[in-house]
């Protein structure tokens, strides 16, 4: 006895087998991606976290160096002698800080450079203010000298007039 629908059974079994393999393939693919992709994502996140930590540590170092420069800038107002030496020392420190900025590992390198330029402009402004103060003191001194000379001229004119009157009377 032979089975009458043998061909249909074989084709149905093969179709079932194909669908079973496709389903298992999809299941294994889903499991593979749900385990494999988070590992790659974790690697990417770890690398990004390292970069952020590096930038955070660099910011702390950068801020501490700028605080040292702040102290030196504040001492510019108090110095009478050696002003230019202190200014050159501050400029040297700023150049060193600028050269220490990493080239490619920071997200926003321009921010650090702009901050250093701002400090440089602050130093230049303090120098200009100091020069204006010195010029004002010099102007005040010259005004006092002019008043003194005017008094002397007035006294000399009075003496000249007196001498001319005495000369006419004789």
pLDDT tens for the chain, 170 residues long, are 677 888 899 999 999 999 999 999 999 998 888 777 777 888 889 999 998 898 889 889 999 999 999 998 888 878 777 778 888 889 899 999 888 888 876 667 888 889 999 999 999 988 888 888 888 989 999 999 999 999 999 999 999 998 888 888 86
Distance CA 127, CA 104 (A): 34
CA of 38: how far to CAs of 3, 24, 27, 42, 49, in Å?
52, 22, 17, 6, 16
Which residue, chain included where needed, has tokens 């930590």? 53
Q: Does residue 128 form part of some domain?
A: yes
Distance CA 92, CA 84 (A): 12
Q: Does residue 3 form part of some domain?
A: no
DSSP type of residue 1: -
Domain with 99, as residue range(s), is: 9-169
Looking at the whole model, is its pTM more than 0.85?
no
Q: Does residue 154 form part of some domain?
A: yes
Q: Does residue 131 form part of some domain?
A: yes
Q: Does residue 76 form part of some domain?
A: yes
Joined together, the tokens standing for residue 119 give 């400090």
Q: Does residue 2 form part of some domain?
A: no
If one counts the domains in the chain, the total is 1
Cβ pair 126, 77 in contact under 8 A: yes
DSSP type of residue 100: T
Joined together, the tokens standing for residue 90 give 């501050």
Cβ pair 100, 111 in contact under 8 A: no
CA of 114: how far to CAs of 14, 96, 119, 127, 149, in Å?
72, 15, 9, 20, 51
Q: Does residue 143 form part of some domain?
A: yes
């Amino acid at each position: 006895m032979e089975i009458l629908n043998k061909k249909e059974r074989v084709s149905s079994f093969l179709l079932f087998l194909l669908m079973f393999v496709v389903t298992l393939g999809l299941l294994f693919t889903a499991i593979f991606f749900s385990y494999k992709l988070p590992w790659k994502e974790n690697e990417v996140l770890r690398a990004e976290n390292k970069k952020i930590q590096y930038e955070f540590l660099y910011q702390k170092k950068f801020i501490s160096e700028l605080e040292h420069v702040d102290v030196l800038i504040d001492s510019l107002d108090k110095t009478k002698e050696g002003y230019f030496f202190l200014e050159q020392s501050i400029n040297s420190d700023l150049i060193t800080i600028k050269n220490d900025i990493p080239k490619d590992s920071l997200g926003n390198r321009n921010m650090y450079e702009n901050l250093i330029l701002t400090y440089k402009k602050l130093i230049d402004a303090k120098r200009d203010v100091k020069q204006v103060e010195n010029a004002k003191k010099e102007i005040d001194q010259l005004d006092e000298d002019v008043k003194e000379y005017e008094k002397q001229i007035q006294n000399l004119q009075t003496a000249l007039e007196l001498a001319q009157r005495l000369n006419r009377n004789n």
